[in-house]
Amino acid sequence: MKVWKAFASILCVAIMFGLYYYLQPTLSLAYLGGFIFICLCVTIVVNNIFMWVKEDSSVIVTYSVAFCIILVLFIVGNIIGSSLFNATTMHQQLGEVQYVDFDDMISQIDTSQIPIVDENLAMKQADKKIGEDISLGSRVELGDAAIQDVNGEIIYVVPLEHTGFFKWNSNRTTPGYIKVSATNPNKVELVTELNGEPLNIRYQRSAWFGSNIKRYIRNRGFRTTGLTEFTFEIDNTGRPYYVVTTYKNRTLWNNPEATGVVIVDVQTGETSFYDVNSVPDWVDIVQPKGVIENQIDNWGQYVHGFWNTFTSKTDMIKKTDLTLTVYSNGNCYYFTGMTSVGSDQSCVGFIMVNTRDKSAQMCYMSGATEEAAMSSAEGLVSDFGYKAIEPLPVNVNGIPTYVIALKDEEGLIKSYAMVNVQNYNISAKGSTLNETERAYLQAVTKSGNGYSTTDEAFGYTYEGKVERISSVVESGSTQFYLILEGEEDKIFTAPYDISDDISITREGDTVKISYLDDKNGTVNIIEFDNIAFSTPISDEQEKRNELDEGSSVLDSQENEIINVNPEENENTWDSLSDEEKAKLIEEFEAGKTKD
């Protein structure tokens, strides 16, 4: 009998050790996994003691009592940490939310810098890159892709992982990682050396024993620290690291809060901890996506406490199903729409949370959800059966817009779409982003709904000579490109149907154009007139033109576009007295100081 008791005790110890070695739970009662593991260990130890000092029949009783005690503690703990007692804390966990306009939330960017490659396509391109090297493809597999900004370029970084225990045992390291551009799916690079030295990635998720990244960090003094979000990132020099978020729970075992990051050099094993206020600049993700999603939900749900969620639901809002990772002004954010409780196709606004410091911005704006925008984009290419990927919110001349890539069954991008956030019936498609943007702006101007800009938009009227003009056929439609004298820093574009004059315009002709200000260098012309030609019109057409006067995109009051005419402005300025000029300058400076 004693032999069997000794065997049972040894087996229990082996099971406890095996569970800890494999699961690597946090050894703290402040975390649910740690609570369960510690209770399990205590139960096994106590029952082994009873097994040696009492009759065998008592073992079942003690196990049953221990299980009931743990179950009661588990239920009571979850109730204590629930929203019933912590609704205010859960609502406030996201922090102060700043209310801004869309222009302040999403800056205007060049269409060439829009990250239209999603994670699935990035992985497909990375897998194709590995397939180019037969020996490498049989040795390694792809890890999880992580999007990040490296020296101003948005890329996916995909680590090379071991394919199994035997490959790990034979090689112990993998030879690097793959970079895939988020703006150009054909830009793929296998990185196997840095500064002339070969890369040897030792500490990773697929490694075994002490080289497993989670086990390695635990063994470096983080056994009682909550760990989550294991992200493979590279610094600005290309050196690879694992960045792991540390956290504590705010309400017993629930509602985690990031406290910092552990950064491990995957080659040397050098490990450093940084709190949330001192994280290196090259680290993009400090706040885990799931944690922020939970905090956004709590912020919208418990706005008036716990009982409001079951009664009137006053002012309650919830996030949409999609949470996007976007970049604006060099910072990384989680972006999601917010809808009223019960709404499914329309947003009341959008919220964006910084992935490093958790600063949150909210823009109140009625519009379409991400799913509705995707359906609208797929409707444009229904004949081809292309599927939309997750949309990206962009600022197109001050117009809140979703940019959506459309993929075929093989997962390759075949088309693009732009969908108006505030009215998803306004949309356009194209084979390139530039073509899509031009078609989209034309769709907006022809929609009769105005530009609906979220900030001041400036419309310009310019008269000058054509220095260069050329045309190109894109998807069966002719597009003209012009450079005008005195405006050499801009490339003006216009479709063939903007005016009959544009088809016969040549270098040296004097033209008059109207356009909206664009910060990206390429400008879409709204109105075009070659004043070297004067085509006779009928009396009826002249009357029609008089009726249409003031209804253009630039003149419409609905669009709220500030018209800028440099020549008229200069004449107006010259007509002012010195006192009037001084007063205007004073008001201008006061406005700048206020901003």
Other beta carbons within 10 Å of 186 = 8
Any idea which residue has 């057409």 for tokens? 541
For the stretch 43-47, contacts whose Cβ atoms lie closer than 8 Å and that sit 24 or more positions apart, written own/partner, are: 43/67, 43/70, 44/12, 44/15, 44/16
pLDDT in tens, 377-403: 999 998 899 999 989 888 887 788 999
Question: What is the rounded CA–CA span in Å between residue 160 and residue 59?
Answer: 49
- Rounded to two decimals, what is the model's pTM? 0.79
Question: What is the rounded CA–CA span in Å between residue 370 and residue 527?
Answer: 32
User: What pLDDT sits at residue 559?
Assistant: 46
Any idea which residue has 């290309």 for tokens? 238
Q: Which of 534, 536, 516, 535 is nearest to 525 (CA)?
A: 516
Residue 407 binned pLDDT confidence (cut-offs 50, 70, 90): very high
* DSSP structural state of residue 432: S
User: What pLDDT sits at residue 551?
Assistant: 46
Other beta carbons within 10 Å of 376 = 22
Q: Mapping DSSP to helix (H, G, I), strand (E, B) and coil, where does residue 40 land? A: helix
Question: What is the rounded CA–CA span in Å between residue 575 and residue 14?
Answer: 93
Any idea which residue has 């040397």 for tokens? 268
pLDDT in tens, 157-184: 999 999 989 999 999 999 999 999 998 8
How large is the greatest C-alpha to C-alpha distance in the chain, in angstroms?
A: 116
What are the E-state strand segments in 61-104? Answer: 97-99
How would you classify the pairing of strands 491-495 and 477-484?
antiparallel
Domain layout of the chain by residue ranges: 2-80, 88-114+287-447, 115-286, 457-564, 568-595
Structure tokens at 459: 């419309």
CB contact set of 419 (below 8 Å; sequence gap of 6+)? 368, 373, 376, 377, 391, 401, 402, 404, 426, 427
- Is the model's pLDDT at 520 over the cut of 70? no
Mean pLDDT across the stretch 490-515? Answer: 86
Name the CATH topology of 457-564. OB fold (Dihydrolipoamide Acetyltransferase, E2P) (2.40.50)
User: What pLDDT sits at residue 557?
Assistant: 47
Tell me if 403 sits within 8 A of 432, measured CB to CB: no
* DSSP structural state of residue 204: B
- Is the model's pLDDT at 594 over the cut of 70? no
CB contact set of 179 (below 8 Å; sequence gap of 6+)? 155, 156, 157, 158, 188, 189, 191
Torsion of CA 35, 39, 42, 43, to 10 degrees: -170
Half-sphere exposure for 273 (CA within 13 Å, toward CB) = 14
Q: What size, in residues, is the chain?
A: 595
Q: Mapping DSSP to helix (H, G, I), strand (E, B) and coil, where does residue 303 land? A: coil
Q: Let me know the angle formed at the C-alpha of 271 by 267 and 276, rounded to the nearest 5 degrees.
A: 125
Tell me if 233 sits within 8 A of 285, measured CB to CB: yes
Mean pLDDT across the stretch 70-96? Answer: 91
Question: What is the rounded CA–CA span in Å between residue 568 and residue 577?
Answer: 17
